[in-house]
Amino acid sequence: MRKFLAILVCKMGRAVGKLVGKGSSMPGKFALKICPDILRQVELPQHVIAVTGSNGKTSTVEMIAAILRAGGKTVVYNEEGANQIEGVTTMVLTHATFGGRVNADVLLIESDERYAAHSFQFFHPTEFVITNLYRDQMTRNGHPEWVYDAILPAIAPETELILNADDPLSSCFADGHERVQWFGLDRCSTDTDAPTGVYHDGAYCPVCHAPMEYDYVHYNHIGAYRCTKCSHCKPKTDYTATSLDLERGSLTIDGTVTIQLAFRSIYNVYNILAAYAACRRVGIAQDTIAGVINNYILKNGRMQKFILGNHHGVLLTSKHENSIAYDTNLRYIASTRSDCVVLVIVDAVSRKYFTSETSWLWDIDFDQLNVPHVKKILLAGQYCNDLAERFSFTGIPEEKLEVQPSIPKTAARLQDGAEQALAGREDLYVVTCFSDRDKLLTLPGVKKEA
Amino acid sequence: MEFRFIHFYPDLMSLYGSYANLSVLKRYLEELGNTVVVESVLPGQEIDLAGADFLFMGAGTERAQKAALADFMRCSDAVKAAAERGTAMLFAGTAMELLGKTITDAGGTIYDGMGLADFVAVQGPHRMVGDVYGVTDLYSGAVVGFMNKCAHITGVKTPLLTSLAMGFGNEAEGGPEGFHWNHVFASELTGPLLVKNPRLLDTVADAILRQRNASLPEERPANRWADGSYAITAEQLRLRCEAQKTTK
């Protein structure tokens, strides 16, 4: 009876919530109050795929859903992004019959990494993709090892782990676990011999803390690592990017599947690899996967094109408090060849209140912008002083920098082009977070492109 | 003057942009016409602390902290002697806990600290996270920062921040934070606390200079970005403190 009531309340709550435009967590919260172990009582599909990690969760889940649907599977997933237990409960019960059976071939869950153990206390994923573990949202997450410890109890022995072989920390989830599938990237032309970036989280082995060595590094500390003392090293991969040419945008997986990248970022490559691995485990054909991923454009708007004055703009969404997300987008800008202007906006670190937490700015390798084709760098938002102080420790010439707290005024500078450098037709790259992006994109002079 | 800085474990203890404390201090002294040489110490590497002007260790994860502690204990006597002599040093984040008598991890294992101070650190399964707005006896004006730690520290008799209007201190919310004795500065405040607090930077720089029988000049180079950042942060946190008082 409680099960039926919980499902009924959740369905009704969700229907009302949709009408009034409210979030998707509340119905699940009510359902859990009525029947705390409701998630144990429902009948789940044969495949329950969970995706967690610091970066790339949403993109990977979106891609998996698109591929599975193209492969003829019915998929239920938390499209609205509510990724803690309440949101997961809403999603499951909304798609369940009143008898408690979820009508789908696959239940696909993007799970908050800190709360995965909580979300999966009543059921276990059949396949669990862990994309990576990086420094991320220090204001809530502590540090990557703390998040590792939080995820660990969420892993059940019967779950098949799908892990990133190139990440020295998240690969540790395989220790003592029998069912593991690995995805990773072979050596490619853009690799370096040693870790890059401001800090070196891969300098020491996460298992024994002895120094690590690298055969090659794709970015930051992601690559082919080897502990100098214990056996921790990059494992042999089951799903492999065997060839990657970011300049031409071509990726080959497992030597046979060729993919044209819509977004030529190595970040995107890892999301594709994770999605590819998960979908292969569910039995989707290589051709079907390639067909979907070829020129796949993410729906979540992480890369938004726009016009501002004479500038063709690209907004690269980089999570604040996540230095690797920033580093990856800065690397992308550095890899472009045309003259450009870069705008970095940090206006709100927390959506709730002003916080003094700006240490993450010091973890970002802004020196990547110290290249001739970056003609000007504009720093805007409430934290522009913090940004300027951080930039003052880079090798970027001071005359390239312009600091302005007001985002509209900064946009106006780009629009009317009072100075030659800004009046041109250079490409414009904007690096900022979800919390700040619309402060630029909704300005009257900004015309978004599809 | 030429100054010699020692940076302990720059890769192992490198969380939260801790390194920026050293960077800003180096640049500040250089802007005052000095030369600063920074020597990094890696685990197992020989180090001579004689003649060092400043010792620094940044924040690390709880596991990295234990690895650092295991190596650092060989330097314990030399660091204590340097502290007695008045050598300036800053231990930021979890590095602060190394100065005490013991560190107890979340599983209950007790590790000996170097015993420069009488406090003990007990780590737990929860993190204390949030902005900090407090005061110090070292100068007037607020100290701002952010706390993200999992340890309660008890037994500090001479804290760096004497009281907090907002945030977690050594033992409790609103209580004193950090440790200060002679020219030893320690704080669990996250990341680049010397960047965020220009007057604390002055204080540490002055401590270094005093050991060389010098002091900060009256006329000093202004840093408009750091000063601007501090002004906004201090004002915003002050407003939050007032709002919290009103709602209580």
Q: Mind listing the pLDDT tens digit for each residue in B196-223?
A: 999 999 999 999 999 999 999 998 888 9
Q: How far apart are CA A16 and CA A6, in angstroms?
A: 15
Minimum-distance CB partner of A356 among B15, B24, B237: B237
- Strand-pair category, A446-448 with A303-308: antiparallel
Q: How far apart are CA A17 and CA A257, in angstroms?
A: 42
Model pLDDT for residues A18-40, shown as the tens digit of each residue: 777 776 788 888 888 998 888 89
For residue A363, the distance in angstroms to the closest alpha carbon of chain B comes to: 6
Q: What is the pLDDT of residue A421?
A: 47
Domains in chain B, number: 1
Q: What is the pLDDT of residue B74?
A: 96
Model pLDDT for residues B142-153, shown as the tens digit of each residue: 999 999 999 999
User: For chain B, how many helices (H) and strands (E)?
Assistant: 6, 11
What average pLDDT is seen over chain B? 96
For residue A29, the distance in angstroms to the closest alpha carbon of chain B comes to: 23
Query: What are the helix (H) ranges across chain B?
Result: 19-31, 62-72, 76-85, 193-196, 198-210, 224-247
Minimum-distance CB partner of A356 among B16, B17, B233: B233
Q: Which domains occur in chain A, in start order?
A: 2-293 (3.40.1190.10), 303-448 (3.90.190.20)
Contact status of A79 with chain B (Cβ, < 8 Å): no
Say if CB B190 and CB A138 are below 8 A apart: yes
The answer, yes or no, to whether residue A321 has pLDDT greater than 90, is no
The answer, yes or no, to whether residue A420 has pLDDT greater than 60, is no
User: Scanning the structure block, which residue is given the tokens 């980089």?
Assistant: A318
CB contact under 8 A, B240 and A354: yes
Say if CB B215 and CB B207 are below 8 A apart: no
Model pLDDT for residues B84-117, shown as the tens digit of each residue: 999 999 999 999 999 999 999 999 999 999 999 9
> Which residues of chain B are within 8 Å of residue A356 when distances are taken between CB atoms?
131-132, 144-146, 196, 233, 236-237
pTM beyond 0.90: the answer is yes
In the predicted model, what is the mean pLDDT of residues A111-119? 88
Query: What are the helix (H) ranges across A95-152?
Result: 116-119, 138-141, 144-151
CB contact under 8 A, B61 and A200: no
Model pLDDT for residues A222-258, shown as the tens digit of each residue: 999 999 999 999 999 999 999 999 988 999 999 999 9
What average pLDDT is seen over chain A? 91
Q: How far apart are CA A4 and CA A282, in angstroms?
A: 31
* Alpha-carbon torsion (A221, A226, A228, A230), positive or negative: positive
Query: What DSSP string runs through A157-217?
Result: TTSEEEEETT-TTGGGGGTT-S-EEEEEE---TT-BSS--SSS-TTSB-TTT--BEEEEEE
* Closest alpha carbon to B148 in B16, B240, B13: B16
Residue-number span of the structural domain to which B56 is assigned: 2-247
Say if CB A327 and CB A335 are below 8 A apart: no
Model pLDDT for residues B129-143, shown as the tens digit of each residue: 999 999 999 999 999
> Mutating which of A389, A394, A402 best tests the B interface, going by the most B Cβ atoms within 10 A?
A389
> Which residues of chain B are within 8 Å of residue A201 when distances are taken between CB atoms?
14
Burial category of B29 from C-beta neighbours within 10 Å (exposed 0-12, middle 13-18, buried 19 and up): buried
Say if CB A165 and CB A182 are below 8 A apart: yes
CATH number at residue B178: 3.40.50.880
The answer, yes or no, to whether residue B82 has pLDDT greater than 50, is yes
CB contact under 8 A, B226 and A389: yes
Mapped onto helix, strand or coil, the DSSP state of residue A150 is helix
Q: What is the pLDDT of residue A418?
A: 54
**Geometric angle at alpha carbon A309, from A304 and A310, rounded to 5°:** 90
